[in-house]
Structure 1
């Protein structure tokens, strides 16, 4: 990659071309506001080590322009710094400006102040909205041009995106929706950025803007026009919700989906997410999207390698990169064997490569290809760079790593909640309950509604039970009468609007009624999502934890609210919201089409217990944790922990390489298990099989101990003969970091 001289970025019907050379684009989403500047270099490096050549990010309008014409590009909003770090790692960048982004981000990335502009209608042919969108998008483009960050200027940005997934809602907007998309096209092209534009999930994207696919599988997506087959969001997992199970997508299924995409002509892929990160502050959308945005991505919330997913995909990426010329220029031939089994042959310059794809979810299939038999496991793809020898199968993952944490304690001082009505600085009077979104302008989750009721001694309601009924579109409501908490109510599932109905007693004279309405993230998707309405503190001191491992705070035992560390809002917490008992599986079969309810875990437990505290938020001493607790709980259970990689467990089949690595600068200190033959079991519970090479353990110790990572070829040449009856031998290793 050359980021000094300008690059000409074009495309044909097979691939993106850079300076006339077709390229396979393997990209991963890393959202800069969901981590910290101190984390960015390591995240980008690990993405590059994982075989990526491009980093993708959205641009977050409501974070950058929280108030109209008041901009913020500081700290973890420093987009320019983030793009320059990508360039320093000699990677490309894919910038999805939107500025509507969805992304499980509050209000889909749109500033709430837009809603308060009279007569505005969002994401449609409305001059007021289009003018604001034009202003912000132009600002971003001009910033990048000034810093020469587009590839046409010698920068890393090779692709950009206008709007987002509009095809999902276009019909709801009628002719105005069609006019709006045409305007988006003309506006984007008028910016003259010198690189192609994408408009994902918009099959009618007008040329030269390219359509793209989002989803679990995109191998059967074919664009209408002569453009590359682009997958802008290959979902690596799914997001967490308050009260929802933890979704997991297996490495085998994700690798199967990616290999199938390339088997059937795909050349541009972006993993959503490659690193999910954390919804700091109040930026989680939904509503009810949790603070963790781990997404079961190849890099976990804290930036650690999520094995075996990271390693399994890395091996696939390196193989695909080595086959680039075939995939872009090769003549393609497909063979249908029936029973959902196929072969695809790419021929180029007298050489061939083969993909054998078995999308049968139940049965392994044996095929006869040019006189030789091959067994292709169910729901898998095999890759043969010479159409003879298999070097990769998506169902055979290379290795896995298990994360463990260590506990520390903290101190706590509780402070009672008090209402200081005379000290409320931002208040006004109205004769009705006003819309929370308009009153707060999305600057707070909380809005107090306060009124008084005068009861004459002759009133029949004096001393009797009366009904308090409040209809709300908010997410949570706390009611107080005469300073006493009546009750709280919220909805666990959509729709979130409800009627709060309780019996209360009023005193003679003036009675105070206070309602605290709480939102848990504004909607971020769907047609007309912007029109959906929405209805103390205890500082504790603690010392910074030693080392470089990621830090989390365990808030199990508390109720719900928002937490700050040294003034940094680390996000909403709601550990008291438990997941239902049903829907989790004791085992996970990767075979068969995936959805976000498959392979779920965490039933009956807190929907989020641990909350990320980036080390850049911490001082060496005198750190302050502040919790604004709504429901109450036991603060004595709160403690800080580090996420520490203590073991690396790996396996690889004969003919491949096994790679072990310890993270965070740690080295491999010991090998507790190593066997080459037919070993079995799981990490921390491996067993030798019926045969093995007797020298395996000593060879692995010599190669790996004292190193942060090691790579071993798995073969008889490396370990010696095994006398195994099985034709497919493998190596399993368990290491201490």
Structure 2
């Protein structure tokens, strides 16, 4: 994939797929260049394009040098092009070819367009690394915190009356009833209990066999509990103590999906919702008695009142309260206004502090949010080594963090003049006071480039403001924590780069001893490490 993007509204599929995706693509979700991947891939395309005739018309031969090192040669009457490969995961390959010697790093490929000079190696990155940062909203007259109003989701007709749109004497899959028009489906039934009923007793509970991604259970208007299925484990049994009355009892179950499967064999047959059976459990001493409700008359209602009445729309006539705004309250709507961030940089809204729900900007659904859903704390390593066969868990990051925190707000959704409206529907309880808008930009750029290359630095349309670090020799460390090595060029690299780059949107530097002086590094490859502030 070349360009990342955003799954707005309910388009993310699932289950449990975030709105944000770019999979480390050369262009990220916001359209920014993902450096160094973009630059490294651009160089590869340029090299391959220069070899077009040889690659498309040449005769192919392969040479095996042993120890997992090979050469693939494309030859025409006009000339030849070579690829040197080394799939050894730990050792360099020293390849002798046509009287010359070449060093190919582990798990990499070198490209020689003329079979003489290496112009590209997959492991030798000569392009900058861009460090993206998020800046607070700097709109004029924007308060430091947003002012919120609220209103509850009206559920009385479901919780107290059990009234729906259709009635059937069985439990149906959520997809069958809702036709994927909503993430929400109410299952409601009324049960008459008598004191002489065998299931009646002091200790009673409700047991639900479910495939709902999220389940909320209510008995006689009281919320008795909820459950979130683990990803990949969507068949579960939920049981919770409940207070039943003699006479009529209304059981209301809210089944919530978080995206449905949209690929794979028979994905349409993957169950979702409350598939049953559903039992009332009574316990009298050591005796356990069950009452199966699966064949009762069940009433169904797709969606929620707030969605149906379009509380997220600017034209909604509904009344909102700005007094005593409650936090950490389930099934609650929140609304605020804000100014569009200045400039033209991409905009993101930080929803950390919220639980689970949906967000709208000026009536545009920017997708489901769920920052309360934390990724596993296991699987991340302090150091990442991409050498070797790829697998899905390789080089994972952000373990134990929210699966998503920042949500993309396209500039086209915003009014550049006047107020904008943010509406949230919070399902499980959260604190909207932490919500804030930010812009996404390049904060700094780094590079660590071998000599005899040309380094290009760019702040993506912004001027380079300072050189934080620069050293030509054998510097160590990594972006953000570079340090000088044991050998250093005679000229001050930071001064040279300051003169060449500061105040400019981009600059090119010839990495050579002519430019920086000749450090004595004992024959080791000399490099330029630089970190610039944008």
Q: TM-score, normalised by structure 2?
A: 0.82
Question: Whole-Å Cα distance in 2 between the matches of residues 613 and 565 of structure 1?
Answer: 8
Question: Whole-Å Cα distance in 2 between the matches of residues 579 and 546 of structure 1?
Answer: 33
| Consecutive unaligned residues in structure 1, runs of 5 or more | 1-272
Equivalent residues in 2 for 1:29-40, closer than 5 Å: none
Is the 1:391–1:655 contact (alpha carbons within 8 Å) kept by the matching residues of 2?
no
1:371-408 per-position Cα deviation (integer Å, ceiling 9, x unaligned): 32222111011112222222211111122111112235
How far apart are residue 696 of structure 1 and its match?
3.2
Q: Which one has a larger percent helix, Structure 1 or Structure 2? A: 1
Equivalent residues in 2 for 1:72-83, closer than 5 Å: none
Equivalent residues in 2 for 1:42-191, closer than 5 Å: none
Counterpart for residue 558 of structure 1: 354
Counterpart for residue 316 of structure 1: 44
How far apart are residue 461 of structure 1 and its match?
4.9
Counterpart for residue 725 of structure 1: 522
> What is the CA RMSD across the aligned residues, in angstroms?
2.1
Secondary structure, in 3 states, of the residue corresponding to 1:658?
A: strand
Question: Whole-Å Cα distance in 2 between the matches of residues 432 and 466 of structure 1?
Answer: 23
Q: Pick the aligned partner of 1:661 from 458, 467, 482.
A: 458
Counterpart for residue 60 of structure 1: none
How far apart are residue 337 of structure 1 and its match?
0.9
1:701 has 2:498 as partner: yes
Question: Whole-Å Cα distance in 2 between the matches of residues 425 and 481 of structure 1?
Answer: 14
1:703-734 per-position Cα deviation (integer Å, ceiling 9, x unaligned): 32232222223223444433443342222222
Equivalent residues in 2 for 1:510-521, closer than 5 Å: 510-521=248-259
1:674 has 2:470 as partner: yes
**1:350–1:727 distance in 2 versus 1, CA, 3 Å:** farther
Q: Pick the aligned partner of 2:260 from 511, 522, 530.
A: 522
Secondary structure, in 3 states, of the residue corresponding to 1:325?
A: helix
Is the 1:482–1:512 contact (alpha carbons within 8 Å) kept by the matching residues of 2?
yes
How far apart are residue 651 of structure 1 and its match?
2.8
Q: Which one has a larger percent strand, Structure 1 or Structure 2? A: 2
Counterpart for residue 55 of structure 2: 327
Question: Whole-Å Cα distance in 1 between the matches of residues 265 and 86 of structure 2?
Answer: 38
Secondary structure, in 3 states, of the residue corresponding to 1:507?
A: coil
Equivalent residues in 2 for 1:18-33, closer than 5 Å: none
Moved over 6 A (4+): 422-426
How far apart are residue 340 of structure 1 and its match?
1.1
How far apart are residue 700 of structure 1 and its match?
2.4
Counterpart for residue 224 of structure 2: 486
Equivalent residues in 2 for 1:546-625, closer than 5 Å: 546-619=342-415, 620-625=417-422
How far apart are residue 673 of structure 1 and its match?
2.3
Counterpart for residue 488 of structure 2: 691
Equivalent residues in 2 for 1:382-461, closer than 5 Å: 382-398=110-126, 399-408=128-137, 409-421=145-157, 427-456=165-194, 458-459=196-197, 461=199
Is the 2:371–2:404 contact (alpha carbons within 8 Å) kept by the matching residues of 1?
yes
How far apart are residue 508 of structure 1 and its match?
2.4
Question: Whole-Å Cα distance in 1 between the matches of residues 15 and 40 of structure 2?
Answer: 33
Is the 2:475–2:527 contact (alpha carbons within 8 Å) kept by the matching residues of 1?
yes
How far apart are residue 672 of structure 1 and its match?
2.4
Question: Whole-Å Cα distance in 2 between the matches of residues 317 and 646 of structure 1?
Answer: 27
How far apart are residue 693 of structure 1 and its match?
4.6
How far apart are residue 497 of structure 1 and its match?
2.1
Counterpart for residue 333 of structure 2: 537
How far apart are residue 459 of structure 1 and its match?
4.2
Is the 2:162–2:251 contact (alpha carbons within 8 Å) kept by the matching residues of 1?
no
Counterpart for residue 300 of structure 1: 28
1:367 has 2:95 as partner: yes
How far apart are residue 413 of structure 1 and its match?
2.6
Q: Pick the aligned partner of 2:69 from 341, 346, 359.
A: 341
Secondary structure, in 3 states, of the residue corresponding to 1:527?
A: coil
Counterpart for residue 44 of structure 1: none
How far apart are residue 613 of structure 1 and its match?
1.2
How far apart are residue 330 of structure 1 and its match?
1.4
1:631 has 2:428 as partner: yes
| Consecutive unaligned residues in structure 2, runs of 5 or more | 138-144, 274-331
Is the 1:463–1:505 contact (alpha carbons within 8 Å) kept by the matching residues of 2?
no
Question: Whole-Å Cα distance in 2 between the matches of residues 323 and 287 of structure 1?
Answer: 44
Question: Whole-Å Cα distance in 1 between the matches of residues 522 and 14 of structure 2?
Answer: 55
Q: Which of the two has higher C-alpha Rg?
A: 2
Aligned length: 464
How far apart are residue 500 of structure 1 and its match?
2.1
Is the 2:377–2:399 contact (alpha carbons within 8 Å) kept by the matching residues of 1?
yes
Question: Whole-Å Cα distance in 2 between the matches of residues 274 and 451 of structure 1?
Answer: 50
1:590-648 per-position Cα deviation (integer Å, ceiling 9, x unaligned): 21111110000111111111111112111233221111111102222222222221211
Is the 1:463–1:506 contact (alpha carbons within 8 Å) kept by the matching residues of 2?
no
1:543-594 per-position Cα deviation (integer Å, ceiling 9, x unaligned): 2122222211111221111111111111111111111221111000121111
Is the 2:334–2:424 contact (alpha carbons within 8 Å) kept by the matching residues of 1?
yes
**1:458–1:425 distance in 2 versus 1, CA, 3 Å:** closer
Question: Whole-Å Cα distance in 1 between the matches of residues 193 and 405 of structure 2?
Answer: 46
Question: Whole-Å Cα distance in 2 between the matches of residues 596 and 693 of structure 1?
Answer: 46
Secondary structure, in 3 states, of the residue corresponding to 2:373?
A: coil
Is the 2:465–2:503 contact (alpha carbons within 8 Å) kept by the matching residues of 1?
yes
How far apart are residue 425 of structure 1 and its match?
10
Is the 1:553–1:613 contact (alpha carbons within 8 Å) kept by the matching residues of 2?
yes
How far apart are residue 462 of structure 1 and its match?
5.3
Counterpart for residue 12 of structure 2: 284
1:379 has 2:118 as partner: no
